[in-house]
Structures are given as structure tokens and as C-alpha cells.
Chain A
Amino acid sequence: MMLGILNGRVYDPIHEVDGEVQDVWMDDGKIVPPPATEEARRQARTIDATGLVVMAGGVDVHSHIAGAKVNAGRKFRPEDHRDHVRARTPLTRSGAGYTTPTTAMMGYLYAEMGYTTVMEAATAPLVARHTHEELEDIPILDTGAYITMGNNHFIMESIRRGEREKARDYVAWLLRATKGYAIKIVNPGGVENWKWRGNVKELDDEVIGFEVTPRQILETLAWVNDELGLPHVPHIHGLNLGQGGNARTTVETIKALDGRPCHFCHLQFLSYEGEPDTLPRSGAVQVAQAVNEHRNVTIDVGQVVFGSATTMTSDGPLQYHLHRLTGDKWLNDDVEAETGGGLVPMEYAPRNAANATQWATGLELFLLIDDPWRVFLTTDHPNAGPFFRYPYVIKLLMDRQARAEAFEEISPRVRKRSTLGQLEREYSLYEIAIITRAGTARALGLDNKGHLGVGADADVAVYVDLDDREEMFASPRYVVKDGEIVVQDGKVVREQQGRTLYVEPAYDRGIEKELRDYFRDYYTIQFDNYPVSPDYVPRGEVVACR
């Protein structure tokens, strides 16, 4: 049945619609032109959105929502779940978890914020099957998975031999085998070196046993991404995350990749001045300048939200470092021939000078980067905070007064030296629509998302225009997914399954002969058993390569 959302104030930046009163019509899961006849109009269902704000459903470009790492976080933190539970209803499953919600709860919480598409930020290829099983159990949302490749043996070996075409064919094969969406790179070379108890610090450090450098890994994968015409760009977690002084290598990396579009994730964590192992200072000014100057770079911020978090990354040496720093329990998982990673619980406190610096740095990045089409809202869930605090971050960006009040609560030492106090910029609703849906959808190459033009997926969020922007974005009046109302007054009213988005780049099948030998020599799973079969993506949707 046709559905019309009528008379609302529409914010659709991809079509440059900035608060104009418009009707939005949808049918068969897509945005359609208004009904052609009176009869059709009468038969349609309608929602009166007078005075309400209408946007496309939210599109999250970076969140740890499914797979081995996320689930290890759930299993190892029962204390995280106990006080944050969700009772079952006749329509919905029960759940538990604050920083690591269970699958059903995760889908409901995202939908209840008006988000309809979420990308899983880092999946190790060997366990991609696990990611897809969990994605199947997350209701409502459309999802996809980034595949970690920055420490992959086959790729590094190809680089060493000067055979980048082979790396290209391998990456295509790997994305198809994992039903993945994009190339993810985490601390290139550093995670391999961690298997020798080492790391990398500079772009030209050597990866042990492979004689390649982080610079070469990044350049090659950026070239591969372009060759394969992937819808998203290389998604990069850079060097020295969390370390004082890492703004320098961040800026160097941005410059090194100049010419090739790239996305730098949770850049707040990589924007510090100072020295390693000392209290960091914000380096947002220099990083923002680099982002402003390099117009083919997009970033997501990874904004810290005070309270509980769980750090979980593929950055093995970083996670060990956090374990030593905090003394807290630590999970590590090295994945054969591919990657690694770890988890450590975290708590961010406003009076803690390091945490306060991190919080301020993130907000500074938002406010210093001019182009909202290139700076996106994330909390690197759950590393800097849980995703359901996004409405709080929106408030801090839109409401200078609220931001000033929050600023008063942080460590006085950090307050004194932070530029945040002088930054008066406020984001508009239009810009919020960009950094939470239009810009992210565009950066992901998802032509049918993040906007409300004819042909788009009928994913729509309708908010009440409240002065308290946190309350506004935390409780949408309606959320529509594929043309069906799934949330009303901030609560799930319909459960349905979303899609898994993945890519199928072309490749030379000749590489498979070599891969068979490679699997025999180095893996513990058969080559023929490695690829994720279509059984795991029953509602899969292929997003075309260029």
C-alpha cells in the first residue's frame, strides 16, 4: 500500500532541500512520485507530518555491531549487561547490554533513533561467516561489513614481489568470499608486527617477515580500491591510535594518499599532539586543516561520550597497551594470515584530563572541519561510547549553550587550554542530516540511501522539532523502513528483516589455483570451505562496482 508522509519539513541535502514543506510518497519499498489519481490518493495510507521534521533514515558509516570481536565483548562483560535490559513484548525479543547490546536489542535501539542502515566496521575475513549470522539476527536494519585487509599475508606478499595486480585480484576474490562491502585497513603492518610483540610507528617502518611498509600497504590498497571501482573508498584506522603526537602521522598519511579518495575513521583518536606515553593534547587544529585541504578525504569523528565504553579494535598492539594502561581485563585474538585485535573495558570521565582532551578533540574536529559532507557523526561504537548517545552528540553540535554547559563539567586543566571554548559554530538541521545520513550514504556509494528522491529506498525518519535536540533525535515520531512503519513514538511497532549489502567486483579466476596452494600451506580451513555461501545472505543485495 502506498504511504504518504504529508506536509512535513523535509531536509534532503542530496537534493538541496532545506526544510521546505513537502510530501514524501512511497510504495513497494521505494520513494515514488505522488499518486497520479484521486482514487490512488484516497487508497493510500497517510501520516500528517505538519510541523514535523522529515529526513531519510540514518546511515551509520562506522559501528562495531556484529561478529567475533563484538561478541567476545558481550561474552566477557556480563557486568555491562545487567543494568541495561530490555523486556520482551508480544512483538519484540528481549535483550541486554549497554556498550555491547544483544542483536535484537541493537536493531531496535538503532531504529528507535531513526537509523535504518548501519555498516559493521571491521570483520576478519576468516570469521566473516560469524558476522553474517549475527547480521541476520539484527532486525530492521540494512547492514554490510568492512573486511580487514591491512595486515593480510597474501596482500603483503604480493606487494613485496611488486605484483599489485595479484593483490587486486585477491582483494576482489576476498570481498566476494566474505560477502563484504569495503576494504578496511587497521594499523597497517602494526597488527602483524604485534605477532612478534612489535608495532609500527611511522609510515616507512618495516613489517617483520614481509619487507613492506605501512605506506606501501595503504598505497596499494587505495590503488586496488580504485581499480575495482568499489562503491566505498578504503576505510582507514591509521597508525599510533591513542598516542600523544599521532596527529603528525595522521597528517602524513592524509598527504601520502593525496589523489586517492579515502575515509579515515574515528579520527578523534588519531588527532593528538604531544608525546607518546604522556598526557595528550588536542591536535584537532592541524588535523582539521589537513582534512579541509585534502578535499577527497572523508572522516568520521569517533566522538567520546562520558560513561562506559568497551574498546574493541583489530589493533592488537593498541589493545595490549590499553590493558597495561588501565590494568583492566584484556582479550586478544590473533587471526591466522589475516589480522588480529583485542578488547579492554573503558570508562570515560569528564574530570579525567586525558578523557576530557579526547572529548574536546572530537568536538573540535566537528567544528573546525568546514565541509559537513566530509565529517560524519560516529562514536566508533562502542569504543568512544554507545551508539544510542548520538542524539546527545547532536545536541552538543547544534546547541552552543548545551555545549558550554558540558564544557564546564570537564577537567579544569583541559578547559583552560582547549580551543573548544572559543568555537561558536552551531550545526543546522540540514548539516545534521548530512553528517548522519546524506553524507554518509554518499561516501558509502549507496545511491538509494540518505535521500528522499524518487527511487530511493523508502527509509524515512520523522522527528518532532524540539528545542532539546537530544530528546528530538532520541525519539522519532515515526520511522519507516522499506515503506513500512517500524517505529512510532520512539518504540518499535513492527519487526522485519533488513538486507545485507555487499559487493562482487570482477577478478581473474586464475588466481584461485595459487590460492589453493596458499590455503594448503598456511590455513587450517579448506579453500573450498572458506567462502561464505549465499545461505548466509538470504536478503543480500549486491551494490554495483563502477
Chain B
Amino acid sequence: MAKVVENAVCTFCGCLCDDITVEVEGNAVSQVRRTCANGRGVFMHYDPAPRQPTVRGEEVTWGEAVEEAATILSEAHSPLIYGLSSTASEAQRKCVALADYLGAVIDTTSSVCHGPTGLAMQAVGEPTCTLGEVRNRADLLVFWGCNPAAAHMRHFNRYSVTARGRLTPNGKRDRTTVVVDVRPTASTRIADQFLQVELGSDFEVLTTLLAFVQGKGDRLTAEEVGGVPMAELEALAEHMMSCRFGVAFMGMGLTHTPGQDLTVSELFKLVAALNDHTRFSVIPMRGHGNVAGADQVMSWQCGYPFAVNFARGYPVYGPGEFTAVDVLARQEADAALILASDPVAHFPRRAADELGKIPVVVLDPMPSLTTEIASVVFPTACYGVEAKGTAYRMDGVPIQLRAVLPTTRPTDEEILDQITEAVR
């Protein structure tokens, strides 16, 4: 018999679309409506069959797995806790509590993604807004170093390029979309203006735009920057200064290229300076469904969004020192707890290999390259599919996830509670 769940929330990416209709037949999802291909995968490819946890590949009871995990973590001298971004905030809160208790290093997937964005925000601030302001007011959109058509596939329709709102009843016709990238993509193809810049030149282009906005354009003598003629950059700066409400969106094109946080800072400074002329905001395109939540929970419980070490008995912040790739590369962790992420798939090879050399405890609803090398694997319930919980959208709006399927497995929150209790 089919059951229909309305207003379900998809957790794949930072869009956190909450208008999904899910049809459930028995214990499985039979149909979804309004998702993008990624959202479809979240619901349709979920295997709800109950699974047992494993210790070194052998199936055990949940209690035995908790004991083993607690032993590994309490015997470790320098445990690393990593991930957090694809689980609910209720579990993230328990995870930070465990890290505090253990005196562990705790880091989130921000460190390989929007960590530099956080560093930039800490250095120069960040004028931002919620996505509804984009929908209702924005008449100029600038996508910089990101490809929403591949990674945030409903963003354009739900929130930005074609969205209709209070001051934008005609959707796409009421705004201009500029996409800045080093190569053509599916996103550049829908842009009103594709600004193709040379790889590695974002900082120079941004600082040039900033100079124009600050009225220092007459001091610029170069004829082109990043392969773009100066006149074109000046025209873009003019456009940005004269729009009604501009919004920039930024992604890995800025955080993954040399310069990183300094490049992002330049963009944030540009956006701040534009507010001397008009209203302008920037929204980082957060990748995973609840990495924004991980930032929030870390900040409220330990004061810092990632890269924290509790070994001294209180939180110490150290990007570059307590970030997971660095910790692993220097072989400073003697055990790891991986929550809701797959570092073996995403980390540089040498860092991923280090995870294979230490005991690793993983909590993940799905098998992954990390579960393959782990000592203890907890196949926990997937939030938003099998369990309710809270997730934060890329713009900081928190939404309660729905359980569309009956819960057959413990949640990350429950397992973390049990591990913490066992460790104590």
C-alpha cells in the first residue's frame, strides 16, 4: 500500500530542497517528485534493509560494536574525529561532546571544501542574506568559481536565476546572470554573461574589480587581467555598483586554487565595498546537505567552525594544524572516528592511505570507500530518509527533516550517545 509524504527534505546538497514528495511502498521509496537527479538518488537508491554493524569485517551486535569503538577511542592518545557534514545537527552536537570528553581533534568536511571561506569570513567579514532575498530582490547574480548546474541542480530554479518573487515577477528576465569560470560549463551556458578568466587569476581579477568599486580605477595601468580586457572588468564593476540588489555565489573555484582564503577574502571585500553604492551580498555554495550545520554546531559548542583540538581540556583552533588532511599527512592520529563522510574517497591519496593504518570507527548509512578500510562500521539510519533531525541550508536556514521510511536502524545520535557512555 502506498503512502505519500509531502514536504520531505532532500539532504544531498546545500540547497536543502524541502518541497519533495515521496511515495513509499512498504519499506521502500517507490517514487519521488521534484527532486533533481541527486535528490532522486538520495531517496531511490537508499537500501533500507537492516544491516548489522561489523568489527573488522565480521558482523556483530550493536552493543559489541559500541564496546569495540569505545575501546579504540579511549585507548587512543590522539584520536581524530572527522566528517559530520551529512548527518543531522542532533548527532553533530553529540559528536562534539564526545570530542570534548576524549580530548580529541575534531574537524569537519569544511576543511577540504569551504574552510577557506570560513577563514575569509573571520578575516574580513561577510555581507550575506537568505535565499529568499535572492528570489525576491536580486536583479544581478554573479556565480564565481562554482557550477550549480552540476552540483546544486535546483538552485537556479528554486532560488536564483529563474525564480520569481516580489520584485522579480518575470524571473530570469528581471535579472542578469553572470558566471565567472576558467572553462565553459553547463552553468556558463545559461549565463547572460560568461566571464572566462585564466586559471589562477581570480585574485587579480577580484582586486581589479575592487579597485574600480573603490574609485581607484584611474590608477590601473594594465590592459588586461586574467585574460580579460580591462574595459570589460570596468563595465562589470559598473554593473555591480548600479544594480538594485546583487548577490554573488562562490564555490570551489576559489577555495581549491592557490590563494584560497586570500582569494575568497578579496571577493568578500569586494562585496562589502559594493554596499557603499548599492546592496550586495554573497552566499557560499555549501556542498553537503548539512555542512552548514556542522559549522554552526562546532561554532556554538566550541567557538570555531572546524580544525579544533580538545587535548588541552578546552578548544584550541588550528587550521592547517588540526585539519584532517594535515593531521593524517603528519601521522598524528592514532585512531579515527569518521561520521557521515567518506574521506578515503575524497582526500588526497597519501592522507587517505594513512586512514588505512590506524583503527577507524565509521558511522555511515551506506557502504563507502572509508567503511571498506574501517575497523568498526555502524550502518546507521539515514537522516531525512529513515530518521528525522535538523539540517542547515547553505544560507543558514535550519529545516527539520522528515522520516519517510520506518526507522529500522539506530541513528548517529543514538550510537554516539552509547559510545560516549561506554567511554565514560
Contacts and interface: CB of A to CB of B under 8 A. Distances in A.
A–B proximity contact (CB within 8 A) = yes
Interface in B91-150: 93, 97, 100-101, 118, 121-133, 135-137
Contacts of B396: 68, 127, 130, 333
A87 interface: yes
B101 A88 contact: yes
A333 to B, nearest CB: 5
Interface stretch (B55-63, B196-204, B273-281, B334-342): B273-281
Given A335-B130, A524-B130, A87 B314 contact: yes
B398 A129 contact: yes
A336 B300 contact: no
A334 B133 contact: yes
A337 interface: yes
Most buried by A among B126, B165, B314: B314
B293 to A, nearest CB: 9
A197 B7 contact: no
A98 B270 CA distance: 30
A215 to B, nearest CB: 24
Given A195-B137, A195-B279, A526-B18, A76 B159 contact: no
A99 to B, nearest CB: 11
Interface string B266-305: 0000001001101101000000000000011001111111
Interface string A522-541: 11111011000101000000
A249 to B, nearest CB: 24
Contacts of B9: 529
Contacts of A521: 165-166
A331 B100 contact: no
Given A102-B302, A522-B166, A524-B135, A529 B7 contact: yes
Contacts of B296: 71, 75, 130
Contact of A524 (B132, B137, B312): B132
A85 B314 contact: yes
B313 interface: yes
Contact of B128 (A75, A87, A332, A524): A332
Contact of A81 (B19, B127, B278, B304): B304
Interface in B359-412: 388, 390, 392, 396-400
B133 A336 contact: yes
Nearest to A529: B18
B381 to A, nearest CB: 16
A95 interface: yes
B343 interface: no
Contacts of B317: 78, 81-82
Contact of B388 (A134, A324, A333, A535): A535
B238 interface: no
Most buried by A among B159, B272, B396: B396
A70 B300 CA distance: 9
Nearest to B282: A332
Contacts of A78: 122, 303-304, 317
B125 A331 contact: yes
Contact of A334 (B19, B130, B310): B130
B132 A337 contact: yes
Contact of B390 (A71, A133, A329): A133
A76 B399 contact: no
Interface in A333-391: 333-337, 342-344
Contacts of B272: 323, 330
A332 B281 contact: yes
A104 interface: yes
A195 B7 contact: no
A195 B275 CA distance: 10
Contact of B158 (A74, A81, A130, A524): A524
A137 interface: yes
A103 interface: yes
Contacts of B315: 81, 85, 94-96, 102
Contacts of B82: none
B245 interface: yes
B279 A94 contact: no
A296 B96 CA distance: 46
A93 interface: yes
Contacts of B121: 75-76, 331
A102 B303 contact: yes
A336 B131 contact: yes
Contact of A129 (B125, B245, B390): B390
Interface residues of B, number: 62
A324 B276 CA distance: 9
Contacts of B275: 197, 320, 332
Most buried by B among A103, A320, A332, A523: A332
B89 interface: yes
A97 interface: yes
Contacts of B301: 93, 102-104, 137
Contacts of A66: 300
Contact of A88 (B244, B304, B313): B313
Nearest to B279: A197
Contacts of B300: 66, 70-71, 74, 102-103, 134, 137
Contacts of B278: 197
A197 B125 CA distance: 19
B89 A74 contact: no
B64 interface: no
Contacts of A82: 317
A525 to B, nearest CB: 6
A127 B397 contact: yes
Contact of A86 (B18, B97, B314): B314
B114 to A, nearest CB: 12
A531 B264 CA distance: 35
Nearest to A345: B125
A329 B129 contact: no
A494 interface: no
Most buried by B among A68, A320, A333, A336: A336
A176 to B, nearest CB: 16
A193 to B, nearest CB: 11
A68 to B, nearest CB: 6
B400 A87 contact: no
Nearest to A130: B398
B67 interface: no
A100 B132 CA distance: 28
Contacts of A524: 130-132, 135, 158-159, 397
B125 A323 contact: yes
B326 interface: no
A519 to B, nearest CB: 10
Contacts of A71: 296, 299-300
A535 B123 CA distance: 36
Interface string A164-205: 000000000000000000000000000000111100000000
A75 B125 contact: no
B6 interface: yes
Given A81-B304, A528-B6, A529-B399, A331 B127 contact: yes
A75 B305 contact: yes
A94 B100 contact: yes
Contacts of A526: 7, 18-19
Contacts of B398: 127, 129-130, 133
A533 to B, nearest CB: 6
A525 B159 CA distance: 11
A96 B18 contact: no
Contacts of A400: none
B91 to A, nearest CB: 12
Contacts of A133: 89, 93, 390, 398
A287 interface: no
Closest 3 CB pairs between A and B? A336-B132, A329-B125, A334-B129
5 contacts: A78-B304, A93-B100, A94-B302, A137-B93, A332-B126
Given A332-B127, A525-B397, 16 more contacts: A75-B118, A78-B303, A95-B315, A126-B397, A129-B390, A129-B400, A130-B398, A133-B93, A194-B279, A196-B244, A332-B275, A334-B133, A335-B133, A521-B166, A522-B132, A529-B7
